[in-house]
Structure 1
Amino acid sequence: MSENAARRLSRMFYRISIAIEAGKDRLSDLDGAIGDADHGITMSLGFMAVNAELAKLDLDHMLPSEVFTAAASAFLDAVGASTGPLYATAFRRAAQALKQDERLSLAGQAAIVEAMTTGIKERGKGQRGDKTMLDAWIPATEAAVGARARAAGSLEMWNSVLEAAEAGANSTRSMVAARGRAARLGERSLGHMDPGAASAVIILRAMKDTFSEDGAK
């Protein structure tokens, strides 16, 4: 089971990379309005590095937790900016969560979302309403935890996760940035979607596409 699970995670990371690459220009445009205009490039480099690393590994003899650990190191090595440590910590927390259930069960998938959010919060010291990626990740986690509690099916859970993340990302348009370079703009950050929240939606959509198609329970 773990062999298949490791390959499923590799497929997930590949999908994320393709989707981030496709949305790279839009992400950088969003960042250009309130930041350095490099978020799309940064995220693309990070996930390309993850896929390059996973391609070297013997996935048939790896646990899912080990895939996330490898992803954390590769992402951090490729991305030295603030996003690097945030997602590296997210992936490490996901690896720790998966050690409790290496099967990638539906509960385990919810635990991945929850653990990644916890890692981002711990590393970035942020909270909902700061106009950051957490404005997408936190509602996504709430949706995942709620779906797990009511024993929802795979597609139902991931649809609710993605809908919550999209709503959270859209809500950042009405926020004044409290963290990062965008915070220096003050009221001028109003009206712009946070690029980190936008990329979080892309990541979660790729996760949904991977896990919900498998119909994992």
Structure 2
Amino acid sequence: MTITVTQLSSWVRIYAELINEHTEELTQLDSAIGDADHGTNMQRGTAAVLAAIDANPADDAAALLKTAGMALVSKVGGASGPLYGTFFIRAAASAGAVTELSSHDFAKLLHAGLEGVVARGKPEPGDKTMFDALAPAVEAVDDALDDGASLSDALAAAVTAANAGRDATIPMLARKGRASYLGERSVGHQDPGATSAALLITAAARAFG
């Protein structure tokens, strides 16, 4: 499958739509173990992304993804802005100034974004963060493509993995961020960052499905 800049833009736009649809849910999740602002922060950030890419139409993948990343860094408060912004900025560097990407190029892009999240936030598996949804999704894409699956099927597998990773955060004890201050009280709550990360993968599946 060949992915165009227009399709990459669709990924970003669908993500913004999903964030908008799930703003209240994300805020409620964050109210239990955080500052109760993840939903509104992400809604504001993705709205800023749409405004930025509309104001500065991109001719190549790197320009589009970097514009998205910079908007998230500048407009989203707390840890989410730098983390999601870094994801897209690293993805932009991986993609390069090209107008089309292969399925494997997109897998590399996801890897680069994940590595950016790790470099910025230093998460590890089981810390109860966005990493717990994002990392299994990236691995699922790799495994499926290595087995000869289409990108559409690989991303369907990634959605399943991301959602499972998201749900697995519920019994976890938070070891990062605001939630970690709660200690045992963080157990039993779904992580909002893992939830918004799963939506990012769902958006990709819809854009490239």
TM-score tier by shorter-chain length is over 0.9
Tell me if the contact between 1:113 and 1:140 (Cα under 8 Å) persists in the aligned partners: no
Task: Give the total of aligned pairs.
Answer: 208
Letter in 2 for 1:14: R
- Structure 1 SS opposite 2:100: coil
Say if 2:172 is the partner of 1:175.
Answer: yes
Q: What code does the residue aligned with 2:109 have?
A: I
Deviations 1:61-80 (A, max 9, x none): x1111101111111111114
TM-score for the superposition, normalised by structure 1? 0.91
Please list every run of at least 4 consecutive aligned residues from structure 1 whose deviation after the TM superposition is greater than 6 angstroms. Answer: none
Partner of 1:32: 31
Whether 2:126 is the aligned partner of 1:129: answer yes
* Match in the other structure for 1:159: 156
Q: Is the contact made by 1:114 and 1:144 (CA closer than 8 Å) also made in structure 2? A: no
Matched letter for residue 8 of structure 1: Q
Paired residues for 1:73-84 under 5 Å: 73-84=70-81
> For 1:144 and 1:101, how far apart are their aligned partners in 2?
21
Q: Is the 8 A contact 1:65 1:98 kept in 2?
A: yes
Q: Which amino acid aligns with 2:124?
A: Q
Contact 2:87 2:114 in 1 (8 A): yes
Please tell me whether the aligned partners of residues 5 and 100 of structure 2 are also in contact (alpha carbons under 8 angstroms): no
Larger mean CA deviation between 202-211 and 111-120 belongs to 111-120
Q: Give 1:1-217 correspondences, 5 Å limit.
A: 5-59=4-58, 62-99=59-96, 102-212=99-209
1:105-164 deviations in Å (ceiling 9; x for gaps): 111221222121111111001111000000001101110111222221122101111000
Cα deviations across residues 89-111 of structure 1 (Å, max 9, x unaligned)? 11111011112865221112212
Structure 2: how far apart are the matches of 1:129 and 1:12?
27
The code of the aligned residue for 2:21 comes to A
Stretches of structure 2 that go unaligned for 5 or more consecutive residues are: none
Aligned equivalents of 2:93, 2:147: Cα separation in 1: 24
CA contact (8 A) 1:14 1:51 kept: yes
- CA distance 1:121–1:207, shift in 2 (3 Å): same
67 and 100 in structure 1: CA distance in 2 versus 1, 3 angstrom threshold: closer
- 1:115 counterpart letter in structure 2: A
For 2:28, give the aligned amino acid. Answer: D
CA offset at residue 16 of structure 1? 0.6
TM-score by length of 2: 0.95
5+ residue gaps, structure 1: 213-217
